């Protein structure tokens, strides 16, 4: 049965993280799509702005230059169009020498500029009017050239500033991710963290590069235009200004209407993307159960709905321009009418009027632009806030990074010890632990392992086996009790030193993009090629590696997608085997390997384990039978302990697990 639309939307929206939103290409900074994509309001805009400014600090001189260029390009554009006024006046006088013309102050200045250069050209051409006009055109060309150059320079500089500062933010974010605790990753899904890198940082870039510059140049244009207008004619200026509130009102109204549909549009987009991602990654399962048609049906529902919502949202976004444009025609008409009257009665020059009409038309533009950019700006600030929240999250070991669930002591209180090496005598005493403060996972775990001993954990799924081993290398800090190695409380040891001494094969296999050799060497970067091979042999990986196309130089991609599950595990074992750590943890290290290979590995590893403390977790009991001690865990408690024979003789839980049957009577 295919699910209904509202059901689908609800399900896929709850999983639709921002990352999935990011899968859709943006629509450019100002477009409706972009505004929809950048939702949210910053909580503390001022602090965030200051924080961003601290990233801009190294570029402050360039910044000053950018502002200067912006100023220059705006002023040249304003003054350039003003040069038309004296030209028109001059031509009017040529046609109608007795015209009653009294130029305003800016017109006189512009006229003065032209006259300053006009003499030689006038003499050359022998015509006063032609000389004047030609000179003016040349001056105009120079002014616009300066304008173009400064715009170019400004764009280049701003790009280098924004990319540079975004690069630093990205670096800080990545560095912090390396330092965050496992606990942090537990509570922040991968998708969420990825969207900090993609959407949020992109938005900061867009903000610095586009919004900020258009905001500043908008303000400069607004002020500049106003000054030119008021010094030319205050009556006409008044008319233009009177219409401004109308523009703001209209813009606000349309903006509100369109933003009402952005939320639903976003939700629909999230659902479509979530659905897409799930079906792409789950393609095999879809085929296994013949769900293709149903998927298409469900997708069509979602896709249809998205189109409807996008239409509503983007319609209002698109209608904004024409409405504003047409409204500005009203100002235009009134200005021309009143201007004409002023020209006839008050000696307003024809040049001033024509320039003024142009100004009054573009006066509304910066206002529009500013109101549009504000939304983008706030959304980008909200994104920046989320990025800084990750950067500010406490690193492993810092206060607040690992709130102790049942805490009795703060890890920071332990006196720091710095032994040069460890032998691997591990002792746990009355250890309690919980991932969340209200649910205890481990209770009163006590055990010891001497160097060279092999301790096995068995127990049903979810009993807490992985959890115990995650405490040894301080992925998590314990709530109560103590864990010591060679008598040192692990909380007194340097984290990096501790982890160097505990080699682990984690339950989830993970390989990085790179050659097989590099992946094995990950366990000890200074290992020689011979040592890499030796480790691979120990892990029974050598023979299959040799059968790969390029042997040890075969490049693995996508977490070793070109290998079998068991082969991936063998490489994980080799990676741990190459390390010189005195403590070795193998968590279901051979669960996907056939029993024959497993026995091979055991054989090879025996030499490796001989002088190491080894903790083994396995469901296959053949793997654990030769351990010095076997701990049977159930619901976070050690319910039985002893060696294989003792435990079998006890006919308890271990016997049950091992023989697969309960002892009757
Ligand atoms: N990161 C976590 N956050 C919260 N609870 C967790 C977390 N990891 C494990 N748990 C819970 O802790 C309990 C013990 O999990 P653990 O992974 O230690 O089991 P396990 O014995 O290794 O099981 P398996 O044999 O399936 O690997 C489970 O009930 C599980 O739900
Ligand atoms: Mg486990």
Flag whether pLDDT at 98 surpasses 90.
no
Residue given tokens 């339950």 in the structure block:
507
Flag whether pLDDT at 31 surpasses 50.
no
- The residues, any chain, with a CB within 8 Å of residue 566's CB and separated by 6 or more, are 592, 593, 594, 597
Please report the sign of the dihedral spanned by the C-alpha atoms of residue 567, residue 569, residue 575, residue 579: negative
Ligand 1 pocket test, pick from 183, 188, 464 with the greatest ligand atom count within 8 Å of Cβ, gives: 464
Cβ pair 196, 172 in contact under 8 A: no
Q: What pLDDT is recorded for position 24?
A: 33
Ligand that lies nearest to the alpha carbon of residue 470, given by its number in the listed order: 1
From 312-321, 385-394, 580-589, the region with the lowest mean pLDDT: 312-321
Question: Which ligand 1 atom sits nearest the alpha carbon of residue 183?
Answer: 1
Residues with CB under 6 A from ligand 1: 186, 435, 441, 459, 461-467, 507
Q: What pLDDT is recorded for position 44?
A: 81
pLDDT category, 661, cuts 50, 70, 90?
Answer: low
Using the mean position of ligand 2's atoms as its centre, give its distance from the Cα of residue 434 in Å.
15
Q: What pLDDT is recorded for position 403?
A: 65
Flag whether pLDDT at 38 surpasses 50.
no
Question: Which ligand 1 atom sits nearest the alpha carbon of residue 463?
Answer: 21
Question: Which ligand 1 atom sits nearest the alpha carbon of residue 186?
Answer: 1
Ligand that lies nearest to the alpha carbon of residue 184, given by its number in the listed order: 1
Using the mean position of ligand 2's atoms as its centre, give its distance from the Cα of residue 573 in Å.
16
Nearest-CA residue for ligand 1 atom 26 is: 461
Flag whether pLDDT at 16 surpasses 50.
no
State the average pLDDT over residues 498-503: 94
Ligand 1 pocket test, pick from 190, 466, 621 with the greatest ligand atom count within 8 Å of Cβ, gives: 466
Nearest-CA residue for ligand 1 atom 6 is: 435
pLDDT category, 18, cuts 50, 70, 90?
Answer: very low
Ligand that lies nearest to the alpha carbon of residue 620, given by its number in the listed order: 1
pLDDT category, 460, cuts 50, 70, 90?
Answer: confident
State the average pLDDT over residues 314-322: 74
Nearest to 377 by CA among 29, 26, 17, 60: 29
pLDDT higher for 660 or 231? 231
Flag whether pLDDT at 274 surpasses 80.
no
Using the mean position of ligand 2's atoms as its centre, give its distance from the Cα of residue 463 in Å.
8
Q: What is the pLDDT of residues 383-427, one digit of tens each?
A: 898 899 999 998 887 777 776 645 567 777 788 888 899 999 999
Question: Which ligand 1 atom sits nearest the alpha carbon of residue 636?
Answer: 14
Flag whether pLDDT at 172 surpasses 80.
yes
Q: DSSP characters for 119-185?
A: HHHHHHHS-HHHHHHHHHHHHHHHHHHHHHHHHHHHHHHHHHHHHHHHHHHHHHHHHHHHHS-HHHH
Using the mean position of ligand 1's atoms as its centre, give its distance from the Cα of residue 594 in Å.
25
Nearest-CA residue for ligand 1 atom 30 is: 462
Ligand that lies nearest to the alpha carbon of residue 441, given by its number in the listed order: 1
Q: What pLDDT is recorded for position 255?
A: 72
Nearest-CA residue for ligand 1 atom 2 is: 435
Using the mean position of ligand 1's atoms as its centre, give its distance from the Cα of residue 638 in Å.
15
Nearest-CA residue for ligand 1 atom 18 is: 464
Using the mean position of ligand 1's atoms as its centre, give its distance from the Cα of residue 464 in Å.
6
Question: Which ligand 1 atom sits nearest the alpha carbon of residue 182?
Answer: 1
Q: What pLDDT is recorded for position 19?
A: 35
Using the mean position of ligand 2's atoms as its centre, give its distance from the Cα of residue 410 in Å.
27
Question: Which ligand 1 atom sits nearest the alpha carbon of residue 459?
Answer: 21
Ligand 1 pocket test, pick from 185, 441, 588 with the greatest ligand atom count within 8 Å of Cβ, gives: 441
Nearest-CA residue for ligand 1 atom 7 is: 435
Spatial separation of the C-alpha atoms in residues 339 and 356, rounded to whole Å: 9
Q: What pLDDT is recorded for position 379?
A: 75
Which uninterrupted H or E stretch holds 219? helix 212-232
pLDDT category, 21, cuts 50, 70, 90?
Answer: very low
Using the mean position of ligand 2's atoms as its centre, give its distance from the Cα of residue 297 in Å.
38
CA distances from 228 to 215, 261, 601, 640 (A): 20, 40, 85, 91
Spatial separation of the C-alpha atoms in residues 377 and 213, rounded to whole Å: 11
Task: Identify the top-confidence range among 101-105, 318-322, 640-644.
Answer: 640-644
Flag whether pLDDT at 662 surpasses 60.
no
Ligand that lies nearest to the alpha carbon of residue 462, given by its number in the listed order: 1
| Residue 488 DSSP class | E
Nearest-CA residue for ligand 1 atom 16 is: 464
pLDDT higher for 341 or 270? 341
pLDDT higher for 403 or 197? 197
pLDDT above 70: percentage of residues in the chain: 91
Question: Which ligand 1 atom sits nearest the alpha carbon of residue 468?
Answer: 18
Using the mean position of ligand 2's atoms as its centre, give its distance from the Cα of residue 648 in Å.
23
Q: Cβ atoms within 10 A of the Cβ of 427, count?
A: 16
Nearest-CA residue for ligand 1 atom 5 is: 435
Nearest-CA residue for ligand 1 atom 9 is: 467
Task: Identify the top-confidence range among 38-42, 277-281, 471-475.
Answer: 471-475
Ligand that lies nearest to the alpha carbon of residue 440, given by its number in the listed order: 1
Q: What pLDDT is recorded for position 85?
A: 84
Q: What pLDDT is recorded for position 407?
A: 59
Spatial separation of the C-alpha atoms in residues 616 and 538, rounded to whole Å: 16
Using the mean position of ligand 2's atoms as its centre, give its distance from the Cα of residue 592 in Å.
14
In this prediction the pTM is 0.79
pLDDT category, 437, cuts 50, 70, 90?
Answer: confident
From 39-43, 225-229, 299-303, 566-570, the region with the lowest mean pLDDT: 39-43
Flag whether pLDDT at 284 surpasses 80.
yes
Nearest-CA residue for ligand 1 atom 24 is: 461
Flag whether pLDDT at 9 surpasses 80.
no
From 46-50, 260-264, 284-288, 424-428, the region with the lowest mean pLDDT: 260-264
Spatial separation of the C-alpha atoms in residues 160 and 531, rounded to whole Å: 46
Using the mean position of ligand 2's atoms as its centre, give its distance from the Cα of residue 139 in Å.
79
State the average pLDDT over residues 68-97: 84
Nearest-CA residue for ligand 1 atom 10 is: 435
Flag whether pLDDT at 458 surpasses 50.
yes
Spatial separation of the C-alpha atoms in residues 565 and 570, rounded to whole Å: 9
Flag whether pLDDT at 656 surpasses 60.
yes
pLDDT category, 20, cuts 50, 70, 90?
Answer: very low
From 379-383, 443-447, 473-477, 548-552, the region with the lowest mean pLDDT: 379-383
Using the mean position of ligand 1's atoms as its centre, give its distance from the Cα of residue 384 in Å.
34
State the average pLDDT over residues 217-242: 85
Nearest-CA residue for ligand 1 atom 29 is: 462
From 164-173, 339-348, 505-514, the region with the lowest mean pLDDT: 339-348
Using the mean position of ligand 1's atoms as its centre, give its distance from the Cα of residue 437 in Å.
15
- The whole-chain average pLDDT of the chain stands at 83
Which residues, listed in sequence order, are joined to residue 483 by a DSSP beta bridge? 428
Ligand that lies nearest to the alpha carbon of residue 460, given by its number in the listed order: 1
Q: Which residues surround ligand 2, an ion (CB under 5 A)?
A: 466, 507
Nearest-CA residue for ligand 1 atom 25 is: 461
Using the mean position of ligand 1's atoms as its centre, give its distance from the Cα of residue 309 in Å.
42
Instruction: Identify the structural domains of the chain with CATH numbers, from first to last.
Output: 42-217 (1.20.1560.10), 452-474+494-659 (3.40.50.300)
Ligand that lies nearest to the alpha carbon of residue 619, given by its number in the listed order: 1
pLDDT category, 497, cuts 50, 70, 90?
Answer: very high
CA distances from 107 to 86, 136, 245, 343 (A): 6, 13, 29, 15
């Amino acid at each position: 049965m295919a699910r209904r639309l509202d059901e689908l939307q609800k399900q896929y929206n709850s999983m639709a993280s921002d990352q999935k939103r990011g899968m859709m290409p943006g629509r450019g900074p100002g477009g409706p799509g972009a505004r929809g994509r950048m939702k949210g309001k910053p909580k503390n805009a001022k602090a965030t702005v200051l924080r961003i400014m601290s990233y801009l600090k190294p570029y402050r001189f360039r910044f000053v230059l950018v502002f200067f260029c912006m100023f220059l390009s705006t002023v040249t554009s304003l003054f350039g169009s003003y040069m038309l006024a004296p030209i028109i006046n001059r031509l009017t006088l040529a046609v109608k020498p007795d015209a009653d013309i009294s130029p305003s102050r800016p017109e006189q200045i512009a006229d003065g500029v032209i006259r300053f250069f006009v003499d030689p050209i006038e003499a050359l051409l022998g015509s006063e009017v032609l000389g004047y006009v030609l000179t003016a055109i040349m001056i105009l060309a120079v002014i616009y050239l300066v304008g173009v150059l400064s715009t170019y320079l400004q764009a280049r500089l701003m790009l280098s500033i924004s990319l540079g500062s975004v690069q630093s933010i990205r670096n800080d974010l990545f560095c912090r991710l390396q330092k965050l605790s496992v606990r942090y990753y537990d509570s922040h899904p991968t998708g969420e963290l990825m969207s900090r890198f993609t959407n949020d940082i992109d938005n900061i870039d867009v903000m610095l590069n586009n919004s900020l510059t258009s905001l500043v140049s908008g303000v400069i244009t607004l002020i500049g235009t106003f000054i030119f207008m008021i010094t030319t004619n205050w009556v006409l200026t008044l008319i233009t200004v009177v219409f401004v509130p109308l523009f703001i009102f209209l813009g606000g109204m349309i903006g509100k209407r369109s933003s009402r549909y952005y939320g639903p549009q976003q939700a629909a987009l999230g659902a479509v993307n979530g659905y897409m991602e799930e079906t792409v990654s789950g393609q095999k399962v879809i085929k296994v159960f013949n769900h293709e048609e149903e998927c298409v049906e469900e997708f069509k529902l979602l896709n249809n709905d998205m189109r409807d919502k996008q239409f509503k949202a983007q319609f209002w976004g698109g209608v904004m321009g024409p409405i504003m444009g047409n409204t500005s025609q009203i100002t235009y008409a009134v200005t021309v009418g009143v201007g004409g009257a002023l020209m006839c009665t008050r000696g307003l020059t024809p040049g001033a009027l024509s320039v003024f009409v142009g100004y009054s038309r573009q006066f509304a533009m910066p206002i529009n632009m500013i109101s549009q950019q504000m939304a983008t700006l706030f959304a980008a600030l909200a994104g920046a806030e989320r990025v800084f929240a990750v950067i500010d999250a406490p690193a492993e070991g810092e206060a607040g990074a690992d709130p102790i669930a049942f805490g009795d002591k703060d890890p920071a209180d332990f006196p720091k010890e710095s032994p040069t090496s460890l032998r691997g005598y591990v002792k746990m005493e009355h250890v309690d632990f919980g991932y969340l403060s209200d649910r205890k996972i481990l209770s009163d775990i006590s055990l010891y392992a001497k160097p060279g001993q092999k301790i096995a954990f068995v127990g049903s799924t979810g009993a807490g086996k992985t959890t115990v081993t995650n405490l040894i290398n301080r992925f998590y800090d314990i709530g109560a009790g103590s864990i010591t190695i060679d008598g040192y409380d692990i909380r007194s040891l340097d984290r990096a030193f501790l982890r160097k001494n505990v080699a682990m094969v984690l339950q989830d296999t993970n390989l990085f993009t790179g050659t097989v050799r590099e992946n094995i060497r990950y366990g000890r970067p200074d290992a020689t090629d011979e040592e890499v091979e030796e480790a691979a042999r120990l892990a029974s990986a050598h023979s299959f590696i040799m059968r790969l196309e390029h042997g040890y130089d075969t490049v693995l991609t996508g977490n070793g997608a070109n290998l079998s599950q068991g082969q991936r595990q063998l490489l994980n074992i080799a990676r741990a085997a190459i390390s010189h750590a005195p403590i070795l943890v193998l968590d279901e290290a051979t669960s996907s390997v056939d029993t024959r290979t497993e026995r091979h590995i055991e054989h090879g590893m025996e030499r490796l384990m001989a002088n190491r403390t080894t903790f083994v977790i396995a469901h296959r009991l053949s793997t654990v039978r030769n351990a010095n001690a076997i701990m049977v865990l159930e619901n976070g408690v050690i319910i039985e302990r002893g060696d294989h024979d003792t435990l079998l003789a006890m006919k308890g839980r271990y016997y049950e697990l091992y023989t697969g049957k309960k002892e009757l009577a």
